[in-house]
Amino acid sequence: MTAEWFDNIGRPDFIVAPMVDASELAWRLLCRKHGAKLCYTPMLHSNIFTKDCKYRKEYFSTCSNDRPLIVQFCGNDPDIMAAAAKLVEKDCDAIDVNLGCPQSIAKRGRYGAFLQDDWTLLKDIVSRMSEAVTIPITCKVRVFDSIDKSIEYAVMLQNAGCKLLTVHGRTRDQKGPLTGVASWSHIKAVRSAVSIPVFANGNIQCLEDVYRCVSYTGVNGVMSAEGILTNPALFEGINPVTWEIATEYLDIVQKHPCPSSFIRGHLFKLFHKIFTFESNNEDRQLLASAQNLDDFKQVCISIRDKYLPFHEGRINFQDVEGITRCGYDLILPPWICQPYVRISPEEHTYKMQMLSKQQDSNTKRIHEDLEGNPISRKKMKKLRRYLRRPAKLEAQVNKNREICVNNICPNPLGAKCAYKLCKKCCKEKCYKEDSFCTGHDVRVYKCKKER
């Protein structure tokens, strides 16, 4: 039987996950408009939240249309977690404890999934927060390798006072390129073992995945993170055109501002497939350097102008740049919102092994120039970057500066150099010819020669 409080918020079944710098108010409102029934805030650091009013104002905002809402905190001090909960008690429907973050910053700060071995502390945190506020305390967790231990873990949190459990069907070691597939079997076992509502998290890329997950696990709702970032209309069951949904998001940001970094991150996710084409490098660069809404809107307009004729069928789209050769086997055209699918951990491991072998076999050739002189790691890194995108880097170099007049030097010339040279070449000239450049101010070299 579900709890009364869960019934009061409408028994939500489509949930937007808590995502750092990604589930801010504007994005939550966009997702609610397209089918989401419950949203979480980004993870908030309890210690900073209780001490820094600027942090509270920048990272926690809501409005009357942003309900039901669950605020998520991370931390390892029961008293501080309870104090943070008190500050948001009147602005949300529940407060969540982050016990699922697997990142290295969580390990250093001793929070998230790195608290799952200290059950005594977790009992104290959940019970202390439950006593401090009148709204429910919930937990978002990752599973253990063992299903039995995962069940025991969930029951312990329920007994400590947790009123809802979100179970991410991956262990804390499953992250990045080693993410792999989430275990719905673990989630199903936990759902059967506890009496509180349970949300499932993991493997949700489309609406069909939501229904399959509910059918298999028996959970009360399904949460999406990566899937909702690439398609904010996932719970509506549609795949919108990227520039249309991006413009819709920017219109909401106009009313509910957020940091530019949040906006940039969302647009990069939405246009991810489009930006794999080299012909869109200029738009990609504009998005990377955008500082205001007009810049962000210009990216959407530029992408729309390029791909609207293809979308409307006036021009036949052909993958002339070979996006499929970049590792993408797309079902939909690249300007349509669609899932980002990672390669399997096995494929990643094999790819890294092959790359390592190739580098080992070419070490001598790679780390020597044409004359056989050794190349430093730093210079080699720059060279590899240049070889990957020579046209882009040359454009960046030539954007604002002319090149040094020394034919064998690729560096930009000094803006005020009397000899139209870069700083290095100017120093050598002044030293050899006993001359002086006011632009580079190389007196030390002249004085050194006179001595």
Active site residues: 101
3-state helix, strand, coil in the chain (%, to 5): 55, 10, 40
Reference 231, options 257, 261, 204; nearest CA is 204
State both tokens at 184.
Answer: 């719905």
Token reading at 157: 């949190």
User: Which residue in the block uniquely carries the two structure tokens 């937990």?
Assistant: 139
**Residue that the structure tokens 């390129």 belong to:** 177
Q: How far apart are CA 166 and CA 99, in angstroms?
A: 10
- Tokens at 24, concatenated: 């801010």
Torsion over CA of 407, 413, 419 and 423, rounded to 10 degrees? -100
303 with 274: CB under 8 angstroms? yes
Q: Which amino acid is at 363?
A: T
Q: Which has the closest alpha carbon to 82: 116, 48, 123, 131?
A: 131
164-174 burial, b at 16+ Cβ within 10 Å, e below that, comes to bbbbbbbbbeb
